[in-house]
Amino acid sequence: MAAAALCATACQNASPSSEKVVEKPQVAVENGRFTPEVMWSLGVMSEYAISPDGSQVLYTLRYTDMEANKNNAELYVMPTAGGEATRLTVTAASEFSPVWADDENIMFCRGNQILAMGVKGKKETVVAECERGFEGFKLAPDGKSLVYISTIPVERPEHIGKLFAGLDKTTGRINEDLMYRHWDQWVDEIPHIYYVPLQNGKALMDKAVDILGGEPYEAPMRPWGGTEQYNYSPDSKLIAYTCRKKTGYDYAHSTNSDIYIYNVEDGSTRNISEGIMGYDQNPVFSHDGRMIAWESMERDGYESDKLRLMVLDLESGAKTDLTADFDYGVGNILWSADDSELYAVVSYRGMSEIFGFNRQTKAIRQLSHGYHDVNAIQMAGADKLIANQVSIQYPGTLYAYNLTDDKAEGTKLSSFNDDVLSQVRMGKVEECWVKTVDGKDMLTWLIYPYDYDSTKTYPALLFCEGGPQTPVSQFWSTRWNFEVMSGAGYFVIAPNRRGVPGFGMEWLEQISGDYGGKCMQDYMAAADWAADNIKQIDRERLGACGASFGGYSVYWLAGHNHGVKGYNEGRRFKAFLAHNGMFNFEQQYLETEEMWFDNWDLGGPYWDWNNPQIKKSYSNSPHLFVDKWNTPICVIHSEFDFRIVASEGMAAYNAAQMLHIPSRYLYFPDETHWVLKPQNSLLWHRNFIDWFDQWLKK
């Protein structure tokens, strides 16, 4: 009967390809150990949407077929009060960008189409098609139009284009400006926002309007921006959007984006954040249409500046910063039903929590509490929020929060991973406060081995965070997963060192221009504290690992791992692993793409030797200390990491080899700053465990 039912559903929602549908795997966990294979068997929930009446939540759920090295997402719907979920699609292609048309009908993207479906009948109809595809869309409040994201090609200048005449098979690239590649992609196309009217449930694509008017700018902004970077006004007559109207050299040196309002009726555009020099992004209209709120940074070139909660009165032009006396940044802004309060997610003391900001009184309240990260929030009626929430011990799950209860830990709604997680013995997570060398209190997460026995000793791994200004929070990741490390039999020491958000702006900003200073001392203080105070940690079996700035941290620690008192051979760490880390600052400065980043954090180009900040920053480049390397090191890097290019990892590995230091190089020719392909990720994890087992367990 189950097979027949599945067949009937599959026929009704026919897959647009002949590929096999990726189904939820059946998993039996051996000995309660959380392994990389178990982690990859879990469903991944990402996008979700609340029905207009607040009673239902529509979400995407993705599963992986490791053998086929692919995954795909399907659509599900469930009550916001909790209960059973209903699967809506069965296709080999992923559904994304789910939207409610009304309380009974939904819309979503698949491939190069926008489709509509009745939740009960599940019959699909095509709303729009686009040869270049869609990256997401939003439906107008009045249901008469939609705004979608698609791409336009970046045109070659005429004097360059003529050189390619008749050479349709050449792979050569010619550039005469900066920002020709970004994070993980060559800049051959850029996203634009299009407005298109609807008629009888169909988009009139021949009447679609590029609201940038063909300007050569990104909207939304790469690489993170999506549909959150634009919104309709309640009357559907205005579209507010985020754009950094710069290209090439100027784009590479500036973070100054703005909020623009496009008038649907006359095609005019105005800038409402002019004069604010940092990132302005993610605008949201109030329900009465009189106000607009957005996330705003003050300083140009500083991508980790505080995200302020800015509100503009559209009638008077008055701007108000509701976080002027609040020492933390905000994200994911929502208006309350009566527009008296705004809600946002805040990185706060090692967690991501929901806060409320009263527009009139300026009062601020914390709504959520607990050991978790709230990754996203949406309103469900007037008195409830639905959150996508994770912790170190569980992946993305739907939780409900009552707005009248500001002491709540949330009510769990979804259960799609419970059958697997119930078989796992997760390592205990403990909140510890460690004294730094200058007497500050530093939050450090201590994760215990899954098979913890207080009569035994275990090896431990110091986790070095990337960013560098990224919190070590209750995050869940398929790369740096603390419970996978726990499942492999390790303690994990994860400090919130200087430079991470959630502990005030002074703590956050101390790292800029001081990469080899207090933040490195914080790492060593956390490792020493754990070795001295947790008797079940074997102080002679400490390793260190990290990616990006964390990879830099590992390289730097490798050059300062000698003459340490209290450890055999004067070595605090007995093994290292660095992923996509900065190794040679001079090399990195001229190879990266977002120049504002190194200009802010390092102080500028290395050739400006009259600048004391330059001397301090570049003198802490890890390549200057390789003569002190004395510890086995594994280097991992990926070819399509344009942020920290692959030559950085190759140089570090080659240095270790020439010094006859035991070393290993894992190279991915088809990955980016992240390792995203399922089998590549599994190799990454197996290598990670094997490397540390070799040096810390034998």
Alpha helices in 129-209 (DSSP H): 158-161
Using an 8 Å Cβ cutoff, are 176 and 157 in contact? yes
* pLDDT given at position 10: 32
The closest of 410, 479, 480 to 445, measured between CA atoms, is 480
Give the confidence band of 1 by pLDDT, cuts at 50, 70, 90. very low
Using an 8 Å Cβ cutoff, are 604 and 633 in contact? no
517-542 burial code (b ≥16 CB/10 A, e <16) = ebbbebbbbbbbbbbeebebbbbebb
Judged on CB neighbours under 10 Å (0-12, 13-18, 19+), 226 is middle
Q: Which residue has the higher pLDDT, 78 or 14?
A: 78
Q: Is residue 123 assigned to a domain?
A: no
Q: Is residue 290 assigned to a domain?
A: no
Question: What is the per-residue pLDDT across 353-382, written as a single tens digit (0 to 9) for each?
Answer: 999 999 999 999 999 999 999 999 999 999
User: Is a pLDDT exceeding 70 seen at residue 495?
Assistant: yes
Q: Is residue 591 assigned to a domain?
A: yes
491-495 and 441-447 strand pairing: antiparallel
Question: What is the per-residue pLDDT across 158-196, written as a single tens digit (0 to 9) for each?
Answer: 999 999 999 999 999 999 999 999 999 999 999 999 999
Q: Is residue 305 assigned to a domain?
A: no
Backbone angles phi, psi at 256, to 5 degrees: -80, 90
Using an 8 Å Cβ cutoff, are 258 and 280 in contact? yes
Average pLDDT for 480-491 = 98
Question: What is the per-residue pLDDT across 323-359, written as a single tens digit (0 to 9) for each?
Answer: 999 999 999 999 999 999 999 999 999 999 999 999 9
The closest of 507, 553, 504 to 527, measured between CA atoms, is 553
If you ran DSSP here, which 8-state letter would residue 414 be given? Answer: -
Q: Is residue 8 assigned to a domain?
A: no
In the block, which residue shows the tokens 């730097």?
A: 556
Give the confidence band of 554 by pLDDT, cuts at 50, 70, 90. very high
Backbone angles phi, psi at 511, to 5 degrees: -75, -30
Token digits for 326?
């609040």
Using an 8 Å Cβ cutoff, are 633 and 578 in contact? yes
Question: What is the per-residue pLDDT across 116-162, written as a single tens digit (0 to 9) for each?
Answer: 999 999 999 999 999 999 999 999 999 999 999 999 999 889 999 99
618: domain range? Answer: 425-696
If you ran DSSP here, which 8-state letter would residue 627 be given? Answer: G
Q: Mean pLDDT over all residues of the chain?
A: 95
* CATH number of residue 614's parent domain: 3.40.50.1820
Torsion of CA 645, 649, 650, 652, to 10 degrees: 140
Partners of 191 in the beta sheet?
151
Backbone angles phi, psi at 295, to 5 degrees: -90, 130
If you ran DSSP here, which 8-state letter would residue 22 be given? Answer: -
Question: What is the per-residue pLDDT across 437-474, written as a single tens digit (0 to 9) for each?
Answer: 999 999 999 999 999 999 999 999 999 999 999 999 99
Whether residue 532 lies in the annotated active site: no
Token digits for 441?
């209190």
* pLDDT given at position 214: 87
Token digits for 55?
């009673």
User: Is a pLDDT exceeding 70 seen at residue 15?
Assistant: no
Distance between CA atoms of 449 and 31, rounded to whole angstroms? 13
Backbone angles phi, psi at 402, to 5 degrees: -90, 125
Number of domains in the chain: 1
How far CA 486 is from CA of 33, 315, 426, 697, in Å, comes to: 9, 56, 8, 14
Partners of 546 in the beta sheet?
464, 578
Active-site option among 548, 553, 638, 663: 548
Please count the other Cβ atoms lying within 10 Å of the Cβ belonging to residue 212.
22
Question: What is the per-residue pLDDT across 109-120, written as a single tens digit (0 to 9) for each?
Answer: 999 999 999 999
Whether residue 287 lies in the annotated active site: no
Active-site option among 641, 663, 681, 685: 641
202-203 and 189-199 strand pairing: antiparallel
Task: Give every strand in the sheet of 258-263, ordered side by side.
Answer: 230-232, 238-243, 258-263, 269-271
Cβ neighbours of residue 172 closer than 8 Å, sequence gap 6 or more: none
Q: Is residue 580 assigned to a domain?
A: yes
Whether residue 548 lies in the annotated active site: yes
User: Is a pLDDT exceeding 50 seen at residue 245?
Assistant: yes
Maximal C-alpha separation, the chain: 78
* pLDDT given at position 698: 83
Cβ neighbours of residue 261 closer than 8 Å, sequence gap 6 or more: 238, 239, 240, 241, 269, 270, 272, 292
Give the confidence band of 417 by pLDDT, cuts at 50, 70, 90. very high
Average pLDDT for 53-78 = 97
Distance between CA atoms of 56 and 78, rounded to whole angstroms? 6
Token digits for 666?
């894992």
Token digits for 169?
């098979």
User: Is a pLDDT exceeding 80 seen at residue 238?
Assistant: yes
Q: Is residue 557 assigned to a domain?
A: yes
Question: What is the per-residue pLDDT across 299-323, written as a single tens digit (0 to 9) for each?
Answer: 999 999 999 999 999 999 999 999 9
Using DSSP's 3-state secondary structure scheme, residue 387 falls into strand
Q: Is residue 434 assigned to a domain?
A: yes
Rounded to two decimals, what is the model's pTM? 0.95
Partners of 311 in the beta sheet?
293, 320
Distance between CA atoms of 57 and 45, rounded to whole angstroms? 12
Using DSSP's 3-state secondary structure scheme, residue 140 falls into coil
- Sign of the CA dihedral running 437, 439, 443, 447: positive
Average pLDDT for 45-63 = 97
* pLDDT given at position 393: 97
* pLDDT given at position 14: 39
Average pLDDT for 608-627 = 95
DSSP string, 66-131: TTTTEEEEEEEEEETT----EE----SSPEEEEEESSSSEEEEEETTEEEEEETTT--EEEEEE-T
Give the confidence band of 555 by pLDDT, cuts at 50, 70, 90. very high
Backbone angles phi, psi at 227, to 5 degrees: -70, -15
Task: Give every strand in the sheet of 575-579, ordered side by side.
Answer: 429-435, 441-447, 491-495, 458-464, 537-547, 575-579, 633-638, 663-668
Q: Describe the crossing of helices 518-533 and 549-558 by its angle, rounded to 10 degrees.
A: 70
Distance between CA atoms of 82 and 399, rounded to whole angstroms? 9
Active-site option among 579, 623, 673, 685: 673
User: Is a pLDDT exceeding 70 seen at residue 525?
Assistant: yes
Distance between CA atoms of 460 and 453, rounded to whole angstroms? 14
Using an 8 Å Cβ cutoff, are 403 and 74 in contact? no
351-358 and 136-139 strand pairing: unpaired
Distance between CA atoms of 91 and 437, rounded to whole angstroms? 56
* pLDDT given at position 402: 94
* pLDDT given at position 18: 60
